[in-house]
A and B are shown apart, each in its own frame.
Chain A
Amino acid sequence: MAQSSVETDIHTSVQAPAEPDFKTRLQSWLPKLVLSPTVAMVLLFVYGFILFTIYVSFTDSRILPFVNAQGATSYDLIGLSNYEKLFRLSHWEIAITNLAIFASLYIIICCAIGLMLAIFLDQKIRGEGVLRPIYLYPMALSFIVTGTAWKWFLDPGIGLENTMHIWGWTSFKFDWIKNGDYAIYTLVMAAVWQSSGFVMAMFLAGLRGIDNEILKAAQMDGASNWQLYRRIIIPQLRPAFLSAFVILAHLAIKSYDLVVALTGGGPGRATELPATFMYSYTFTRNQMGIGAASAVIMLMTVAAIIVPYLYAELREKK
């Protein structure tokens, strides 16, 4: 197929030698030309926009559009005072405290469950082909869908608590989703449900990549299963742990849909996260400068995690 097409091409190019100069020049520019729309889009819509948001965070802008039709500005540069205000807001403090609780539990529990399931599945389990897709399917669903399911299931009036009461366990109480002190943990629950299967898949891929010969040799030397995992297998999963951490951490910081669907940030502000904070300050509270400042903080947090990781990965490739 490819062979004959190349031949026909030779014929056509022989028949049309009119402007070889232009053609070859075009050919040498073509790759860059093809790449340029993407480069332009990424530079403008990603990096240009990042700079723009940083700029907005230094202004006292309140709502869109902040520039009138003549291009005249209707705002002032106010330096870092949005950031000062931001960190004095108890609302923001709640959001970052919640994020710290949510992210650490989410990462730890996902890794624990993921690792356990991966190790268990790796024991030549019958039905692995059925179990694996079951563990992973939540990853294909929208957080709005899973948020809806969990929201009503955790609702004490109709969900789990009610079911337990009907089953005869009348003293059973599970109203975390309505309780300001515990609602954040329902968020962890739903998020872990969504992502732990994915972590399992990453660990499983890592486990399958480990050289069996090393394990056999260790076993000859009398290592028990426990020692095998503790000393040889789990340390070799370090790259998988690193990837899992990076992915989960950045997902946690970006978490927005799940909060909206599950708790709406409530009760009160009990499940407010930076992402929901940014949205409400920017679009509903008309405090766009502060909203922009919070977005910048979010970006810097993600960058602190992602950039070293990508840098290492890209260098490794070379």
Chain B
Amino acid sequence: MAVATQDSAVRTGRATRFVLYTVLLVFALFYLLPLFIMLVNSVKPLGEITGGSMIALPQTWTFEPWAKAWSEAQVGVEATGLRPYFWNSIRMVVPAVLISTILGALNGYVLTKWTFRGATVLFGLMLFSCFIPFQIVLIPMARVLGEIGLAGTTTGLVLVHVVYGIGFSTLYFRNYYAAFPTELVRAAQIDGAGFFQIFWRIMLPSSGPIIVVCVIWQFTNIWNDFLFGASFASGSAAPMTVALNNLVQSSTGVKEYNVHFAGAIMAALPTLLVYIVAGRYFVRGLMAGSVKG
């Protein structure tokens, strides 16, 4: 391949292209495999999993495992299914995403258009907080939540996610607003517009894309969180990820793999849907959060 002389842009021969497509397709199958396994085995009777191939399509289709995972399975003390925990996650994720996004937007606005001495240092401190291993805050956080009476509650989790989500949301808005013409802000200021008016009438109307990016990123991160959920709300306030883990790891009775897979899809569905609908923004968020700090 190396010797084959090419005289124009990176060009590939027929054989090379065959290899390219084969490799790319094999990897596509590799990435799709776990999803396929989850889907296929969530609609099989248990006997077909234990007695058959995991990769085979079901012989008898059944939605029993879904119903069971949703409303009957033994997750906590009672056999409630995953339903209450799904709602816990919703109740956690909606306020946490809203608050962290709003604060992030305001912070980004201040840090770019009303900048002051030490702003970069402050921003650096916020940025670092995005990357800390959260083990370092578990002990004091557990104690503080206990002391203000929020241990084991969804409200406590909202607080935690706002606090540790704010770094990223600030990062997004700051980088986005940095490219926004400051002259427009100064002109409006000269015309007598105040701080919030400029934000509300000038900045926000042009912030659509970054709001989407930020909301998607926060939603995905907070929904998928396990560490905080397991540490601070493992009981009846547990979020979906913790409940799913309890379901899968429970050692009592027969292992109902099909129910586990159905539950896993339920836990994956919200973020997967967001990804399917707005994948482009998700990727943008990933890149903004990593490539450019």
Contact = CB atoms under 8 A, between A and B. Distances in A.
Interface stretch (A35-43, A84-92, A171-179, A180-188): A35-43
Contacts of A46: 125, 128-129, 132, 137, 163-164
A144 interface: yes
Question: Chain B interface secondary structure, helix, strand, loop or mixed?
Answer: helix
Interface residues of B, number: 117
B190 to A, nearest CB: 10
Contact of A142 (B162, B267, B290): B267
B167 A142 contact: no
A139 B38 CA distance: 16
Given A38-B166, A314-B120, A49 B248 contact: no
A18 interface: no
Contact of A123 (B12, B41, B137, B226): B12
Main secondary structure of the interface of A (DSSP, over half): helix
B79 to A, nearest CB: 19
Contacts of A72: none
Contacts of B197: 5-6, 9
Nearest to B289: A247
22 contacts: A1-B201, A2-B205, A6-B191, A9-B194, A38-B170, A117-B24, A123-B17, A125-B21, A141-B224, A148-B261, A149-B35, A149-B37, A152-B37, A153-B34, A163-B55, A225-B2, A225-B10, A282-B138, A292-B139, A298-B135, A299-B133, A310-B124
Given A5-B193, A5-B197, A48-B140, 12 more contacts: A35-B122, A123-B10, A137-B31, A141-B272, A142-B223, A148-B38, A160-B54, A163-B56, A225-B10, A243-B291, A275-B135, A317-B178
A35 B54 contact: no
Contact of A219 (B8, B245, B263): B8
Interface residues of A, number: 123
Interface of A: 1-2, 5-7, 9-10, 13, 27, 30-32, 34-35, 37-39, 41-43, 45-50, 52-53, 56, 64-66, 113, 116-117, 120-123, 125, 131, 133-146, 148-153, 157-160, 162-163, 166-167, 193, 197-198, 201-202, 205, 212, 215-216, 219, 222, 224-228, 239-240, 243, 246-247, 250, 253-254, 256-257, 260-261, 264, 274-275, 278-279, 282-283, 288, 291-292, 294-296, 298-299, 302-303, 306-307, 309-311, 313-314, 317-318
B156 to A, nearest CB: 12
B137 A53 contact: yes
Interface string B249-293: 100000001001101110110011011000100110011001111
Contact of B137 (A10, A50, A148): A50
B14 to A, nearest CB: 13
Interface stretch (B58-66, B70-78, B104-112, B207-215): B104-112
| A46, A52, A143 — most chain B CB neighbours (10 Å) | A46
A10 B133 contact: no
Contacts of B54: 152-153, 158-160, 162-163
Interface of B: 1-12, 17, 20-21, 23-24, 27-28, 30-35, 37-38, 41, 49-50, 52-56, 103, 106-107, 110-111, 114, 116, 120, 122-129, 131-143, 146-147, 162-164, 166-167, 170, 178, 188, 191-197, 201-202, 205, 220, 223-224, 226-227, 230-231, 241, 244-245, 248-249, 257, 260-261, 263-265, 267-268, 271-272, 274-275, 279, 282-283, 286-287, 290-293
B141 A45 contact: yes
Contacts of B30: 193
A64 B139 contact: yes
Given A1-B205, A49-B141, A142-B224, A257 B6 contact: no
